[in-house]
Amino acid sequence: MVGRVRWEDLPLSDLRNVWFQHNGAPPHKVSSVQQHIRDTFQQQVIGYGRCIEWPPRSPDLNPLDFFLWGYIKQRVYATPPPTLRELRNRNTDACARVSPAMLYNVQREVQSRAQMCIVTEGHHFEHDR
């Protein structure tokens, strides 16, 4: 079984390199959560109204959004999971099947998307593959 690493368990030296990217999810907008994010990540927050601005409806450069969530959903929900345990098992299995070759392709895709973003000066673009 693949272990899950919580950010709270990272050594301080690693935590200094961790950034929080605010995705606009409603739970992240609650004042107590906002305060926790500020206390934990200080100046290392990416998102609307934060240290590093990430405007709404910006070009999608996040590999979690353009790759991982779709890949996981496709594998997990090919058929409806009958139990919560099965849902957890399918999620774990799907994550374990992400290969180094897949990650290499995702890295190339990030580079390609970043280049398109530069060419269009940050405007929307269609990215066909």
For residue range 52-95, list pLDDT tens digits in order: 766 665 657 778 778 888 899 999 999 999 999 999 999 999 99
Pick from 95, 69, 113: nearest CA to 5 = 95
Q: Which residues pair with 21 in a beta bridge?
A: 46
Q: Is the pLDDT reported for residue 28 higher than 70?
A: yes
* Other Cβ atoms within 10 Å of 45 Cβ, number: 19
For the chain, give the mean pLDDT.
79
pTM over cut 0.75: no
